[in-house]
Amino acid sequence: MINSQQNRRTPKSYDRLRDLFFRDIEILLIEDSAVDQVVFCRYVERSQMPFVVTAVGSLAEAREKLANKHFDIIVADYYLPDGVCLELGIIFYEYPVVVMTGGGDEKIAVGVMKAGAKDYLIKGTGSGALKMLPLTLENVLIRHHAEREREELEARADEMQKMESLGRLAGGIAHDFNNILGSIIGYTELAVEDVEEDSITRRNLQEVLIAAQRASHLVEQILAYTRDSAEERVRVDLVEVLDEVMNMLAHSIPKNVEIEIIRQVDYAYVHGNETNLYQVVMNLITNGIQAMEAEGGILKIRMMEIIQGRKPMICVEISDQGCGINRDHLERIFEPFFTTKAPGKGTGMGLAAVQGIVEYHNGRIDVSSQVGVGSVFTLQLPSDLND
Amino acid sequence: MARVLLVDDDDQLRSMVTQMLEREGFEVTEASNGVEGLESYADLETDIILLDMVMPRRDGLMTLQDLLASYPRARVIAMSGGSRGRASWLPIAKRAGAVGVLKKPFTKDQLMDSLAAALANPWK
Ligand SMILES: Nc1ncnc2c1ncn2[C@@H]1O[C@H](COP(=O)(O)OP(=O)(O)OP(=O)(O)O)[C@@H](O)[C@H]1O
Ligand SMILES: [Mg+2]
């Protein structure tokens, strides 16, 4: 009777976990008693759930394992040869932890729960708690997953709020700020005219100009990222936008970088804000060129029309043979102010602006990259179907 | 040489633009708000008006509209460094009849280019 009930539950649980994980679930068992390890593994096996157990006998071994491998959940005996499991320190809070205690140790159980454990199990004969093991693990995993999701949502909402206020601030000061920059640039240019051709003063004034242009560029990127939705939109031909960008860049492309443009369309009409779309193409191409600065290579720009879920989209693929982007960075490149470039070289607002603008135009931007091989950025924007 | 009416409420920026223009031989008259700008234009009917879009009192757009209502052939170049909380002014100024736009901050070359283009505009 009990068996058949368990069997009916098992496939369902399996589904719930599989929906969340799409793979086997890695358990790290920290248990110094060999017998208890065996018992634990038997219960896990019997559950027919997609669990894989790695067992270690001490905190030191656990730390070592955790440093080299990802685990989904930790099950730890309270007392271990080299301390109590709470001494795992930060690990205790980063992972969902289920603590096992001997019978009669309920006080300890309450303590570990207060310290952040997700659940506890009483082991020892007769308690029957280990029978609950699979169910406990399943519940903890699902709860942990939900908590993480909520944390992520909150963090994203926070981020959006921050950017919104940054946008409002930027919009509010853009006018005054650009007036100020206008004066800096203008007066410096006037001064440049008055000093001798190859004097140090002239070179220094030229540096002031470069700095002011950088400041102006930064304001523009921030404004683009925090899109003002009242911005004017018209029919824009991305072929023309690309031509303009290439014209603008013509003199600054390093000798070791070759540009190859493959246009599979004559026109690429989208509906949008021309200045912003120019910024998108400019930022993506600039990044590609900068990535190849050291070793050189070919920057390929392919423009085509594709059908995405019945909708025609203009697709611009920009692939470089540059340094590539490692996994950790790949997650962060669209963050405002994330940059790996030297101070003064990059604002880190380039891709943030790209993403802001692309979202505002109902498009998408994807990236794939391999360190040492190169990166591909794929921009898709809905075709403008009006004639 | 061409005469320019420069309307901008930022004193520092205004005298900088005046210097640039005078060095290139333009004759410049300054105004620091829309009302003054309209009065000066009525007197002088300069060849070009450089008009800031964001100003206190009579703002750029209202000034532009009034100007073109009385003087349809006036050549106005609209200048703006961004919104102050509203949509960008420059496309709006173009629709309202400005012959050219200048995004702040601008360089001397950009200023001269836009003046040349505006003066060459045959439609006015
Ligand atoms: N094509 C690319 N190849 C390698 N890394 C890239 C590429 N594009 C972006 N990155 C990485 O993403 C980071 C963020 O790019 P983003 O364009 O937002 O800012 P940035 O290029 O550093 O600064 P800015 O755009 O202001 O010059 C870069 O610093 C770089 O590490
Ligand atoms: Mg960049």
User: Rounded distance, CA A247 to CA A121, Å?
Assistant: 69
Q: How far is CA A138 from the centre of its chain?
A: 28
pLDDT band at A14, cuts 50/70/90?
low
Show the domain range for B101.
3-120
Which H/E stretch holds residue B102?
strand B100-103
Q: How many C-beta atoms lie closer than 10 Å to residue A325's C-beta?
A: 21
CB pairs under 8 A between A and B: 83
**Cβ–Cβ under 8 Å, residues A310 and A343:** no
- Please give the tally of structural domains in chain B: 1
Instruction: List the domain boundaries for chain A.
Output: 2-150, 159-225, 234-382
pLDDT band at A205 (very low <50, low <70, confident <90, very high): very high
For residue B84, give the CATH number of its domain. 3.40.50.2300
What integer is the mean pLDDT of A184-208? 94
pLDDT tens for each residue of A247-272: 889 888 999 999 999 999 999 999 99
What is the distance in A from the centroid of ligand 2 to the CA of B111? 28
Residues A24-49 have pLDDT tens digits of 899 999 999 998 899 889 888 888 88
CA of A249 to the centre of ligand 2 (A): 14
Q: Please check the confidence at residue B118 and state whether its pLDDT lies above 50.
A: yes
Q: What is the pTM of this model?
A: 0.60
The shortest CB-CB distance from A172 to any of B13, B84, B88 is to B84
C-alpha closest to that of B71 among B45, B95, B90, B89: B45
A168 interfacial to chain B (CB closer than 8 Å):
yes
In order, the DSSP letters of A111-158 are HHHHTT-SEEEE-STT--GGGGHHHHHHHHHHHHHHHHHHHHHHHHHH
List of chain B residues whose C-beta atoms are within 8 Å of the C-beta of residue A223? 82
Chain A residues lying within 8 Å of B16, measured CB to CB: 182-183, 186-187, 190
Q: Is the pLDDT of residue A132 over 90?
A: no
Which option is the CATH number for A234-382: 3.30.565.10, 3.40.720.10, 3.40.50.300, 3.30.230.10? 3.30.565.10
The CATH number given to A2-150 is 3.40.50.2300
Q: Whose CA is nearest to atom 11 of ligand 1?
A: A333
In the structure, what pLDDT confidence band is assigned to residue A231 with cuts at 50, 70 and 90? low
Mean pLDDT of chain A: 87
Of A40, A18, A22, the residue nearest A31 (C-alpha): A40
Protein residues within 5 Å, CB atom, of ion ligand 2: A 287, 350
Each residue's pLDDT tens digit, B76-98 = 999 998 765 455 788 888 889 99
Query: Which comes out higher in pLDDT, residue B63 or A110?
Result: B63
Give CA–CA dist A327/A343, Å, rounded: 22
